[in-house]
Amino acid sequence: MKPIWAPWRMEYILGKKPGGCIFCDKPKGEDEPNHILFRGDISFIMMNIYPYNNGHIMVAPYKHSSCLTDLDRDTLIELILLTQKGVELLRETLNPDGFNTGINIGRVAGAGFEDHVHIHIVPRWDGDTSYMSIISETRVIPEHLNVTYQKLLPFFRKIGNCLAK
Protein backbone atom coordinates (compact mmCIF):
# COMPACT_ATOMS: atom_id res chain seq x y z
CA MET A 1 0.00 0.00 0.00
CA LYS A 2 1.29 3.47 -0.91
CA PRO A 3 0.61 6.30 1.54
CA ILE A 4 -0.90 9.48 0.13
CA TRP A 5 0.33 12.64 1.80
CA ALA A 6 -1.77 15.81 1.77
CA PRO A 7 -0.01 18.23 4.14
CA TRP A 8 -1.29 21.26 2.21
CA ARG A 9 -4.77 20.48 3.57
CA MET A 10 -3.65 21.15 7.14
CA GLU A 11 -3.94 24.92 6.60
CA TYR A 12 -7.61 24.42 5.75
CA ILE A 13 -8.25 21.81 8.46
CA LEU A 14 -6.74 23.89 11.26
CA GLY A 15 -7.60 27.31 9.86
CA LYS A 16 -10.53 29.49 10.82
CA LYS A 17 -13.69 28.39 9.05
CA PRO A 18 -16.10 30.89 7.57
CA GLY A 19 -19.36 31.29 9.47
CA GLY A 20 -22.44 29.60 8.09
CA CYS A 21 -22.65 26.83 5.55
CA ILE A 22 -21.06 27.31 2.13
CA PHE A 23 -23.57 24.93 0.56
CA CYS A 24 -26.46 27.03 1.88
CA ASP A 25 -24.87 30.49 1.52
CA LYS A 26 -23.13 30.35 -1.87
CA PRO A 27 -26.23 29.40 -3.90
CA LYS A 28 -27.90 32.57 -2.58
CA GLY A 29 -25.27 34.62 -4.42
CA GLU A 30 -24.13 34.97 -7.98
CA ASP A 31 -22.64 32.00 -9.81
CA GLU A 32 -19.22 33.25 -10.89
CA PRO A 33 -17.89 34.71 -7.61
CA ASN A 34 -19.12 31.56 -5.84
CA HIS A 35 -17.74 29.20 -8.50
CA ILE A 36 -21.13 27.62 -9.13
CA LEU A 37 -21.08 25.72 -12.40
CA PHE A 38 -24.65 24.42 -12.53
CA ARG A 39 -27.93 24.82 -10.66
CA GLY A 40 -30.43 21.98 -10.77
CA ASP A 41 -33.89 21.94 -9.23
CA ILE A 42 -32.75 20.13 -6.08
CA SER A 43 -28.96 20.31 -6.11
CA PHE A 44 -26.04 22.15 -7.70
CA ILE A 45 -22.40 21.82 -8.76
CA MET A 46 -19.64 24.12 -7.55
CA MET A 47 -15.86 24.16 -7.63
CA ASN A 48 -13.87 23.41 -4.51
CA ILE A 49 -11.79 26.50 -3.70
CA TYR A 50 -9.38 24.29 -1.70
CA PRO A 51 -8.90 21.65 -4.41
CA TYR A 52 -6.96 18.43 -4.13
CA ASN A 53 -6.43 18.69 -7.88
CA ASN A 54 -7.27 20.98 -10.75
CA GLY A 55 -10.97 20.71 -11.61
CA HIS A 56 -12.06 19.42 -8.16
CA ILE A 57 -15.83 19.96 -8.02
CA MET A 58 -18.59 19.20 -5.53
CA VAL A 59 -22.24 18.26 -5.97
CA ALA A 60 -24.57 19.25 -3.12
CA PRO A 61 -28.29 19.40 -2.43
CA TYR A 62 -29.82 22.77 -1.59
CA LYS A 63 -31.38 21.11 1.46
CA HIS A 64 -29.19 21.45 4.51
CA SER A 65 -28.70 17.86 5.65
CA SER A 66 -25.76 16.10 7.24
CA CYS A 67 -26.34 12.61 5.87
CA LEU A 68 -27.58 10.77 2.80
CA THR A 69 -30.12 8.98 4.97
CA ASP A 70 -31.97 12.28 5.46
CA LEU A 71 -32.44 12.91 1.73
CA ASP A 72 -35.48 11.92 -0.27
CA ARG A 73 -35.38 9.77 -3.40
CA ASP A 74 -35.59 12.70 -5.87
CA THR A 75 -32.67 14.45 -4.21
CA LEU A 76 -30.56 11.30 -4.24
CA ILE A 77 -31.35 10.71 -7.91
CA GLU A 78 -30.42 14.26 -8.90
CA LEU A 79 -27.19 14.11 -6.86
CA ILE A 80 -26.09 10.95 -8.66
CA LEU A 81 -27.15 12.22 -12.10
CA LEU A 82 -25.18 15.43 -11.55
CA THR A 83 -22.19 13.43 -10.31
CA GLN A 84 -22.37 11.29 -13.44
CA LYS A 85 -22.61 14.40 -15.63
CA GLY A 86 -19.77 16.08 -13.72
CA VAL A 87 -17.46 13.12 -14.40
CA GLU A 88 -18.48 13.14 -18.07
CA LEU A 89 -17.86 16.87 -18.50
CA LEU A 90 -14.55 16.87 -16.60
CA ARG A 91 -13.42 13.98 -18.79
CA GLU A 92 -14.38 15.98 -21.89
CA THR A 93 -12.78 19.27 -20.81
CA LEU A 94 -9.72 18.28 -18.76
CA ASN A 95 -8.98 14.76 -20.07
CA PRO A 96 -7.97 13.19 -16.73
CA ASP A 97 -6.73 9.60 -16.49
CA GLY A 98 -9.25 8.79 -13.75
CA PHE A 99 -11.36 10.18 -10.91
CA ASN A 100 -11.86 9.97 -7.19
CA THR A 101 -15.48 10.45 -6.18
CA GLY A 102 -16.59 10.37 -2.59
CA ILE A 103 -18.80 11.45 0.25
CA ASN A 104 -17.38 12.19 3.69
CA ILE A 105 -20.07 11.86 6.35
CA GLY A 106 -19.00 13.26 9.71
CA ARG A 107 -15.91 15.15 10.83
CA VAL A 108 -13.88 12.03 11.60
CA ALA A 109 -14.54 10.79 8.06
CA GLY A 110 -12.93 13.95 6.68
CA ALA A 111 -15.97 16.15 6.11
CA GLY A 112 -14.86 19.78 6.07
CA PHE A 113 -18.53 20.76 6.18
CA GLU A 114 -20.00 17.95 8.20
CA ASP A 115 -23.48 19.45 8.46
CA HIS A 116 -24.17 19.51 4.72
CA VAL A 117 -23.64 16.32 2.73
CA HIS A 118 -21.93 16.70 -0.66
CA ILE A 119 -20.12 14.59 -3.24
CA HIS A 120 -16.53 15.31 -4.28
CA ILE A 121 -15.37 14.67 -7.83
CA VAL A 122 -11.59 14.91 -8.17
CA PRO A 123 -9.94 14.46 -11.58
CA ARG A 124 -6.69 12.46 -11.41
CA TRP A 125 -3.74 12.21 -13.78
CA ASP A 126 -0.85 9.75 -13.78
CA GLY A 127 1.87 11.23 -11.59
CA ASP A 128 -0.29 14.04 -10.14
CA THR A 129 0.93 13.37 -6.60
CA SER A 130 4.52 14.44 -7.08
CA TYR A 131 7.26 14.91 -4.49
CA MET A 132 6.38 18.60 -3.93
CA SER A 133 3.71 17.77 -1.35
CA ILE A 134 6.04 15.62 0.71
CA ILE A 135 9.25 17.66 0.58
CA SER A 136 8.02 21.23 0.72
CA GLU A 137 4.43 20.88 1.96
CA THR A 138 3.39 22.55 -1.27
CA ARG A 139 0.67 21.43 -3.65
CA VAL A 140 1.04 22.34 -7.31
CA ILE A 141 -2.26 23.27 -8.90
CA PRO A 142 -1.26 24.04 -12.49
CA GLU A 143 -4.10 26.38 -13.38
CA HIS A 144 -5.77 29.24 -11.51
CA LEU A 145 -9.20 28.38 -10.08
CA ASN A 146 -10.91 31.16 -12.06
CA VAL A 147 -9.32 30.01 -15.33
CA THR A 148 -10.55 26.46 -14.73
CA TYR A 149 -14.01 27.82 -13.84
CA GLN A 150 -14.23 29.74 -17.13
CA LYS A 151 -13.03 26.66 -19.04
CA LEU A 152 -15.66 24.40 -17.44
CA LEU A 153 -18.63 26.78 -17.32
CA PRO A 154 -19.79 26.53 -20.96
CA PHE A 155 -19.87 22.74 -20.72
CA PHE A 156 -21.76 22.67 -17.43
CA ARG A 157 -24.36 25.13 -18.74
CA LYS A 158 -25.38 22.44 -21.24
CA ILE A 159 -26.45 19.95 -18.55
CA GLY A 160 -30.13 20.96 -18.43
CA ASN A 161 -31.86 18.11 -20.20
CA CYS A 162 -29.90 15.29 -18.55
CA LEU A 163 -32.11 15.75 -15.48
CA ALA A 164 -35.42 15.43 -17.31
CA LYS A 165 -37.48 12.51 -16.05
| Catalytic site positions | 118
CB 77 within 8 A of CB 85: no
How far is it, in rounded angstroms, from Cα 29 to Cα 112? 21
**How many CB atoms within 10 Å of residue 152?**
23
Question: CB count, 10 Å around CB of 15?
Answer: 9
